[in-house]
Structure 1
Amino acid sequence: MANRIRLEDRECPLSTTVQHVGEWWTLLILHDAFDGYSRFDQFQDNLGISSSMLTARLKTLVADGLLERRPYQSNPVRYEYLLTDLGRTLRPVILALAAWGNSRLAPEQRSMILVHATTGDEVEPVVVDAGTGRRLDDSDTYVFTAGPAAGTAMRNRYAPRQATPTHTD
């Protein structure tokens, strides 16, 4: 049997991110939280998710520090789930995912669009380099490389490739 690397053992930031938000119910719950939903019954009614699955996902989101569980009623005790500062940092990711999905549809096929809250103008989220403001697109202009904390496997993966000289004799 081949050796398998467990997701939590990988040092890749993509792997660790997927560990937290890769389950599709998680992204939908976070999307609802960004839209102002905070109570169990709101999430369940909107998503049509089973109570056991919702309970498990909410527990994980709280344990991961993306949502905070806070009582809003004392008798019986009922809780609401609010985005933490860490959870709010995922909003651009969710916006980018939704924009990617919409980019594959004709405008008349889009059931949800992003608009400016004041003007109502439709906006298109893009990912840009914070330092230069340049758009990060699907070109080869921007590539991953090993970072300062990279282990051997990551350094090997992103080792500089030797250019093969072309000589004409």
Structure 2
Amino acid sequence: MQAFQASSDACPIPEAVAIIGERWTCLIIRASMLGLRHFEEFQACLGIARNILSDRLGRLVTAGILARTPDPEDGRKVIYGLTERGAALVPVMVALRQWALDAGLGKEGHPELADRRDRKPVARVSVHAHDGRKLEIEDLVWLGPDGMEVQMPTPPRVRQVAA
């Protein structure tokens, strides 16, 4: 249990969730990935209150996920664009979307995410070993800073039974 607690205390997931885990923040990131750039576009397309949008955009800029630059076509406007750090969230957002669809979330008629060149659906996001092998949860192990395995309980694989 001590090893589990120590690894939990050092885990970066809570910090990441604090930055991107709020509903409006995720929707703003998704909208940025889809090409929205201006405050007014985010506000109109998401239906988000102006004060909340302003707050979330500011947080995303501070976190280095979005960059705020003057619009060269209209000096009164600002462009919000994904930084490299923000673009690195694409696999996270795709995995979250795939998980949600698998869980039966969302509504009918949602668009399919596809490869622009081949116009084919994107592959499933999965975890791979250094040599390319697809890994399942049973194949994963936590290693400490010393390279030694951190003893954790093996997660059980629970299979749902159809009702």
TM-score, structure 1 as length reference: 0.73
Q: How big is the shift at 1:147?
A: 3.6
- Residues 1:130 and 1:54: Cα distance change in structure 2 (over 3 Å): farther
The Cα offsets for residues 4-28 of structure 1, whole Å up to 9 and x where unpaired, read as xxxxxx5311111111111111111
2:116 aligned with 1:120? no
2:148 aligned with 1:148? no
The Cα offsets for residues 37-70 of structure 1, whole Å up to 9 and x where unpaired, read as 1100111111100000000000000000100001
The one-letter code of the counterpart of 1:67 is L
Q: How big is the shift at 1:146?
A: 5.2
**d(CA) in 1 for partners of 2:27, 2:98:** 15
**d(CA) in 2 for partners of 1:68, 1:161:** 40
Q: Report what 1:58 is aligned to.
A: 57
Q: Report what 1:18 is aligned to.
A: 17
Query: Unaligned stretches of 5+ in structure 1?
Result: 1-9, 150-157, 163-169
Q: Report what 1:49 is aligned to.
A: 48
**d(CA) in 2 for partners of 1:44, 1:26:** 13
Q: How big is the shift at 1:130?
A: 5.3
The Cα offsets for residues 93-150 of structure 1, whole Å up to 9 and x where unpaired, read as 00100111112339x935132112122222332223251222233x32213x25429x
Does the CA-based 8 Å contact 1:66-1:84 persist in structure 2? yes
- Residues 1:117 and 1:141: Cα distance change in structure 2 (over 3 Å): same
Query: Unaligned stretches of 5+ in structure 2?
Result: 1-8, 154-163
**d(CA) in 2 for partners of 1:123, 1:83:** 21
- Residues 1:130 and 1:120: Cα distance change in structure 2 (over 3 Å): same
**d(CA) in 2 for partners of 1:146, 1:59:** 36
Q: Report what 1:167 is aligned to.
A: none
Structure 1 vs Structure 2 CA RMSD: 2.6
2:28 aligned with 1:37? no
| Identity fraction in percent | 33
**d(CA) in 1 for partners of 2:90, 2:53:** 20
